[in-house]
Structure 1
């Protein structure tokens, strides 16, 4: 049996929007949908599960649907279920979040700790419902974007839409300064022009998805601004995250934090394998 797409629900409007998005995604990929609610009260949990199940069933009647209530910390429960999940899907805000917060505490904690891709569903309805026909992926230098690129190519494939691959670079950050610890290979890699960095990253997945319509974009300037601008006309923004060396969890970094808080469309954080 296919591993499920898991969506965290708490009864908030944001979590119901996540259910809608997850139901559509489960249909696209042909995977089961599993609703997870971490709660203290049985009556409340029953109401939340019933409402979410009805909503998912109406939106994705052909998808195998299951649900679960766990009496434990929501972030821990989701991270645990994410060890055997196609992806975890969460709303941008939860019931317990303070007014004015741009991203819920549970969503941020899960994005920083999960072993599978984490989707934070945010943005206006036109972004959540896939009306732009465009998936955007951020491409870093090196191998940090490999798994994110595979995810993004697959998403564009199942959606039958365009893939915009964005590589942003800052000239000052690429300036070579002599450092004895650097190897010849590291220096040569640092000299690669940005267009070559992007072309090299796209070559492998493009061979596997030969029907992909890829628009490579090399942008001089901060990655945060480049990706937010590209996401303004996107159905999905995909970024990668490295594992913390010697510590559990992911290095979300300042750019990913900014995207999770401010992106105008759903954001996927894909752990680098």
Structure 2
């Protein structure tokens, strides 16, 4: 069974960009598309217009919104199988539930208006922290220049083998007939000096060499695991979030793992994921480790 790409919409410019990205991805991959609107978003905006109907005003607005979204997809990509639905529930709960039976869930990083923008930002972050499938968050603004076709960037962390994010990124690069940029960031702790007992020669050189060796070990396993792609190595000194944001400039998509921590409101994303979702200029895919 082909699991659909699910996209959450609210009628804002940001969600239209997410809708267009999801529709293009569905057309490229041959997957069905499911358009979802959680009507409680309208309550948070305080928009309660009145209509001469027995149905709640929010439901009328929501049904019109998803119908318009469905028409937009069919106009842009007539071959995409698209269905739409309205769920009068909390958006995060709805989309987490949808993620159980989805290939991807796609959202814009911001919604309509100042308050809605804050809300949808929190929805995107919460969903990326709880979803059971990869979540793609499209940026609030279009990039200054078109992305390089097929360019996929992935961050390689400390795990001894390829992560779910690395495998997802390789599959993305293969399906796009493009290239995978595997990025390993490294830093030299300020307190380390050349006479550190575990280091020989320059501490910076030792840390860089360790990062290069780790990246090679991970990619050796990754490249044996499935269809090949043109894989490039990038070992860069600096904070992980900053390195990934800079490397992803001009990419079609940046892929990171869902580094989650517990909390009284459920799992939350770590600081690196949080930063790239806010500041990357391209769509960001957050992949759960269990994917």
Cα distance per residue 1:108-141 (max 9 Å; x no partner): 1111111111100116545897544311100001
TM-score, scaled to structure 1:
0.85
Q: Which among 216, 227, 235 is matched to residue 218 of structure 1?
A: 235
Alpha-carbon distance in 1 for matches of 2:250, 2:132: 28
- Is 1:233 equivalent to 2:250 in the alignment? yes
Q: 1:7 to 1:73 in 2, by over 3 A?
A: same
Contact 1:102 1:261 in 2 (8 A): no
DSSP-derived class of the 1:62 partner? coil
* C-alpha distance in 1 between matches for 2:136 and 2:115: 21
- Report which of the two structures shows the higher radius of gyration computed on alpha carbons: 2
**Counterpart among 81, 103, 106 of residue 89 in structure 1:** 106
Give the alignment's TM-score, normalised by structure 2: 0.81
- Report if the CA contact (8 A) 1:137-1:166 is conserved: yes
Bigger shift: 30-39 or 53-62?
53-62
The 3-state SS of whatever aligns with 2:258 is strand
CA contact (8 A) 1:145 1:272 kept: no
**Quick one: which of 191, 195, 199 aligns to 2:212?**
195
Shift of 1:28: 2.1
SS of equivalent to 1:171: coil
Query: Would you say the 8 A contact 1:103–1:260 is kept in 2?
Result: no
Is 1:33 aligned to residue 67 of structure 2? no
Runs ≥4 in structure 1, deviation > 6 angstroms?
Answer: 245-248
Matched, 1:6 2:23: no
Q: Which runs of 5+ in 1 are unaligned?
A: 179-189
CA contact (8 A) 1:135 1:161 kept: yes
SS at match of 2:100: helix
Match of 1:252 among 264, 269, 272: 269
Per-residue deviation, 1:16: 1.0
For residues 16 and 89 of structure 2, what CA distance do their matches in structure 1 show? 21
Structure 1 residue 268, shift from structure 2 partner: 0.6
Tell me the equivalent position of 1:116.
Answer: 133
Counterpart CA distance in 2 for 1:39 and 1:220 is: 45
- Deviations 1:60-117 (Å, cap 9, x if unpaired)? 2222211111100111100111111101100110126538859712111111111111
**Mind listing any 5+ residue stretches in structure 2 that lack a counterpart?**
41-57, 198-206
1:42 corresponds to: 59
What's the Cα RMSD here?
3.0
Output one character per residue of 1:133-178: Cα deviation in whole Å (capped at 9) or x when no partner.
3111000011586100111001111111111110001121896x99
Matched, 1:61 2:78: yes
Deviation at 1:245, TM superposition (A): 6.5
Q: Give the conservation status (yes or no) of the 8 Å contact 2:155–2:184.
A: yes
Query: In structure 1, how many angstroms separate the alpha carbons of the residues matched to 2:163 and 2:190?
Result: 22
Asked whether the equivalents of residues 23 and 33 of structure 1 are also in contact (C-alpha less than 8 Å), the reply is: yes
Q: How many residues align?
A: 262
